[in-house]
Amino acid sequence: MTLPDGSTGGSPAVDVRGVHVHLGASHVLRGVDLTVAPGEVVALLGANGSGKSTLVRTVVGVLPPSRGTVDLLGHRVGDHVPWGRVGYVPQRVSAAAGVPSTAREVVASGLLHGRRLRLPRGWRGRAADALDQVGLADRADEPTNRLSGGQQQRVLIARALVRSPELLVLDEPVAGVDRPSQEAFAATMTRLVGDGLTVLVVLHELGELADLITRAVVLRHGRVVHDGAPPRPHAAHDAAAHDHVHPHTSELPLRSDTRVGLGGPLDTDEEARP
């Protein structure tokens, strides 16, 4: 429900209840509950194949749940979600895929949503501002296929930001991204979160975003096995001076039957399991 002042009246930004998703013959999500309150920055963690991408794609309405419900900003997905207030950065897509286009054009496409097929007034300024937020103000006219992979990822983040979203959903935004792009991304997120942005972000490691994360949700085999404090980073594992005195296990308070390593030896590749 949206109130006259545009707020959601205390509704969670994301409210996932009892969601099951089947993909082909696979029962990928098996009764997931996930709530993200306005202003929270929630990291979605878990081994490869645990269902993280499937969950965020369900959250943004790309995949329909076979059971359960998803509400965004107080609106049921599939109904009347104000998509213009939601930004989504999908996993591993190239900004240069498809027809040749400049960084500005890709970013401007983020202003098209729902039934809006024409760019709104002032789109150039908004696209320039979004590119500036990711440190690419001087590359607006550059064809995206001439940008590095990290810069292309920043263009996609700018495409999500150009809407000035209240809720930003990102699927591994810095995977395989060069160091300057990671730092630019972390600086942008710090500023936006300071302004009240709500974030749900799939990550393999907390990395540069560690200080921003307010809560971590860990998936395993399509179920939530931890929802609470983010894991403490194991500092400098590969540093020469690192002293291996701590136990290499997750320090998370997990449910009794499950232990999840987050980058440690307990980490398993779900796809490798029978």
253 near 231, Cβ under 8 Å? no
What x/- string results for residues 12 through 31 when contact with ligand ATP is judged by CB under 6 A? Answer: -----------xx-x-x---
Stretch that binds ligand ATP, among 2-10, 43-51, 93-101, 190-198 (CB under 6 A): 43-51
Asked if 49 touches ligand ATP (CB under 6 A), the answer is yes
Which parts of 85-104 interact with ligand ATP (CB under 6 A)?
A: none
Rule CB under 6 A: choose which of 12, 52, 147, 206 binds ligand ATP: 52
Nearer to ligand ATP, 67 or 116 (CB): 67
Q: Which residues pair with 87 in a beta bridge?
A: 168
Asked if 220 touches ligand ATP (CB under 6 A), the answer is no
Rule CB under 6 A: choose which of 3, 27, 48, 211 binds ligand ATP: 48
Q: Give the shortest CB-218-to-ligand ATP separation in angstroms.
A: 11
Asked if 54 touches ligand ATP (CB under 6 A), the answer is yes
Phi and psi torsions of 107, nearest 5°: -65, -45
Nearer to ligand ATP, 26 or 190 (CB): 26
Asked if 271 touches ligand ATP (CB under 6 A), the answer is yes
Nearer to ligand ATP, 62 or 229 (CB): 62
Asked if 58 touches ligand ATP (CB under 6 A), the answer is no
Rule CB under 6 A: choose which of 14, 16, 34, 50 binds ligand ATP: 50
DSSP assignment of the chain: ---TTS--TT--SEEEEEEEEEETTEEEEEEEEEEE-TT-EEEEEESTTSSHHHHHHHHTTSS--SEEEEEETTEETTT---GGGEEEE-SS--TTSSS--BHHHHHHGGG--TT--SPPTTHHHHHHHHHHHTT-GGGTTSBGGGS-HHHHHHHHHHHHHTT--SEEEEESTTTT--HHHHHHHHHHHHHHHHTT-EEEEE-SS-GGGTTT--EEEEEETTEEEEEESPPPP-TTTTSTT----S-SS--S---TT----SSSTT---GGG--
Nearer to ligand ATP, 51 or 165 (CB): 51
What number of chain residues touch ligand ATP (CB under 6 A)? 14
Q: Give the shortest CB-104-to-ligand ATP separation in angstroms.
A: 30
Q: List residues binding ligand ATP (CB under 6 A).
A: 23-24, 26, 28, 46, 48-54, 270-271
